[in-house]
Chain A
Amino acid sequence: MNAPTPIRFHANVRGVLANPVLRASFRGAMDFLMARRAAQFPAADAFEALRAQGEQIRQHSLARLPELLETLEANLQRNGIQVHWAETPLQACRLIIDLATRAGGDLVVKGKSMVSEEIELNHALEAAGIGALESDMGEYIVQLAGEKPSHIIMPAIHKTKEDIARLFADKVPGVDYTDSVDELIQIGRRVLRDKFRDTRVGLSGVNIAVAETGTLCLVENEGNGRMCTTVPDVHIAITGIEKVVARLEHVPPLLTLLTRSATGQAATTYFNWISGPRRAGELDGPREVHLVLLDNGRSGAYADIRLRATLQCIRCGACMNHCPVYARIGGHAYGTTYPGPIGQIVSPHMLGLEATQDLVTASSLCGACGEVCPVKIPIPDLLLQLRQQSQGNAAAPLLPGAGRGRKALQSISYQLFAWLYARPALYRLFSFVATRLRAFTPARQGVWTGSRAPLRPAARSLHERMKSRAGESCA
């Protein structure tokens, strides 16, 4: 089976749209998540005030990004956390393989980390002879099925409990078919508990990094994040360079926005602030803590003030929950690590605009994503800018692959359209001819008529009709 890739977007979409079970899974999950979030933000003005704070905290942090990264590094090191930098996914994977090997680990037990998905860490580890085990329940299910997450917060959202029951009965030794959710979770718990106890290397992502104190913050409900960062001898955290904030006081507004927007909770079960390995006199905790800071195109987005807004993201997933396109096609069809509206604006700087040329067009620009974004990223505006970039119509190319989405016929049509509509005499002649020849309009008009009625000029143009009406009433 070919893994979906962004370049195959249209083929991927056709597959999903024809699958009613999958569509029902996504519709149900999106309705659930939207309702949960709405219940947490009952007052629109309070939400707006909080969003404005969230936006300003993220923008302020990004404006000082290089300085904050250096402060973060210095304070993490002062706390005994070792800091590593990686420009590319390959470098990040190598760093982590080296760290795991030095720790004598043949297995890495993983908490939920989208950045580790972004760098395809599991494949790299396996190629180096090191196992990788996902421990978030959703991620564990997806890994067991040999798939990828279809949502950044709820990775197994595309699966029904019956799917998971069959998967466990097939893949987990000694397990009989059961579709009781509680029993399924207990099976996952049993399998993973032994791994938490015995594995030497744990890996996690980071939700917020605090520069002034040298602290890594992690949000979770299951406890697997705490297990991975507490029980193994070595904890390796990986995050994108954009996740840093300056001060401890910047955490509360972002945390509130994150948990409420993501799963509609006032707080998650655990909020874990890690500021160092086990200290003298402490009886547990990792002996070593490492942070890998990944660029992977983020500094490219940072170079343009408008695209920089993509780095404000706190990865809550609200934009995908509210997206009419995501709700119909789900996460896999995008073929990228980050699906949905946020994926459409961050994937271009990670993968280039050639591979993502169809993604930037996969939006009705309805604006829902921009309205719910807790840090006010203008996603629809950014999509328009990326379309311009992809078409090669922007003044300056910003990202690799700019202009590669240009299609000759489309481009000529738009140029002709612009030229004609700017010349009144020619336009009147054109509309006169077009309306008179409407009977000859072709019934097949390329992709347009694939799922729509053909375009046909009216019997008379609006100009003509207005002129004749003016004659009637004002004579």
Chain B
Amino acid sequence: MSAPLARQRILARLRAAPPQDIPAPTLPLAPMPASDEIRLDQFRRGIEAFHAEVIDARQRTWQTVLAEVCAAKRIGTLMLPPADLADLNPWPGGPRLSRFDRPIEMHKAELFDAIDAGLTIADGAIADTGTLIQADPRRMPRTLSLVPPIHICLLDPRCIYPSLQGALAATPWKQAMPSNLIFISGPSKTADIQQTMAYGAHGPRELIVLLTAGT
């Protein structure tokens, strides 16, 4: 459905314009990947500057650290992604665990009104901007990182790309883009009132990244 002939007329006007020959830009190569630790350090400083919290859970189990975070933030209900998360069972004094395992239409009321925090697993990260990547909406529903007031994200620090360019070169996105690829750099924010930064505009007001050696 288009306005009748709009497409043909627009394209015809553009084709009637004088041609120009502008070569494709030569883009500098992606920077050489630095060591894992340097990339992690850069990622960490970047995302912390965007007001996210990063907790290194590699020396302990992430489940232990998650329990501490839930206690500290008084999280009463935690929503998990549909994918099986190894060894995450309700624990004494811990939040009620809910699983995002049906279409959103059946979760909406709970998701918008009853869930305190969403737990997701990042598919990677970008070091130079401090950015988390969620690249598979089938494994990680889009709204789990968006609707609950707190977003807790597990990240394996071995999956940090040096830059966006590096990520584009190393992933199969060019051949097959996911229906929704999401980059996240910090909690939701706005400076729309008198240039004063406020967090938790429409998305999460807190973003907590747990570094883990594997999920």
Contact = CB atoms under 8 A, between A and B. Distances in A.
- Residue picked from B22, B201, B202, most chain A C-beta under 10 Å: B202
A282 B138 contact: yes
Interface in B166-195: 168, 173-174, 177-195
B55 to A, nearest CB: 20
B35 interface: no
A284 B103 contact: yes
A221 B17 contact: no
B202 A227 contact: yes
Contacts of A95: 1-3
Nearest to B20: A63
B181 A221 contact: no
A87 B165 contact: no
Interface string A170-197: 0000000000011011101100111011
A266 B127 CA distance: 12
Interface stretch (A15-23, A245-253, A344-352, A406-414): A245-253
B6 A154 contact: no
Given A56-B22, A141-B192, A281-B138, A86 B174 contact: no
Contact of A222 (B21, B103, B202): B202
A155 B179 contact: no
A135 interface: yes
B207 to A, nearest CB: 9
Contacts of B181: 272-273, 275
Interface string A273-293: 111111101111100000001
B195 A28 contact: yes
Given A155-B192, A181-B193, A299 B13 contact: yes
Interface stretch (A65-73, A119-127, A365-373): A65-73
Nearest to A142: B192
A29 interface: yes
A53 B191 CA distance: 29
Contacts of A283: 82, 100-104, 107, 137-138, 141
A138 B192 contact: yes
A200 B131 CA distance: 30
Contacts of B27: 53, 249-250, 253
Interface string A124-141: 000000000001111001
Interface string A337-362: 00000000000000000000000000
B129 A269 contact: no
B32 interface: no
A446 B14 CA distance: 44
A136 B188 CA distance: 12
The size bracket of the interface on A is 35 or more
A241 interface: yes
A213 B11 contact: no
Interface in A88-138: 88, 91, 94-95, 98, 135-138
A271 interface: yes
A222 B200 CA distance: 8
B208 to A, nearest CB: 15
* Listed residue (B182, B189, B191) with the most chain A CB atoms within 10 angstroms of its CB: B191
B120 interface: no
A193 to B, nearest CB: 6
Contacts of B108: 197
Contacts of A221: 188-191, 201
B25 A269 contact: no
B103 A275 contact: no
A87 B192 contact: no
A154 B188 contact: no
B72 interface: no
Given A192-B202, A223-B201, A231-B104, A161 B194 contact: yes
Interface of A: 25, 28-29, 32-33, 53, 56-57, 59-60, 62-63, 65-66, 69-70, 79, 82-88, 91, 94-95, 98, 135-138, 141, 154-157, 159-161, 164, 181-182, 184-186, 188-189, 192-194, 196-197, 212-215, 221-224, 226-227, 230-231, 241, 246, 248-253, 255, 263, 266-279, 281-285, 293, 295, 299-300, 302-305, 308
8 contacts: A59-B20, A63-B19, A66-B15, A154-B192, A267-B46, A281-B138, A283-B103, A284-B143
Interface of B: 1-3, 6-7, 9-11, 13-25, 27, 46, 49-50, 82, 100-104, 107-109, 112, 128-131, 137-138, 141-143, 146-147, 163-165, 168, 173-174, 177-196, 198, 200-204
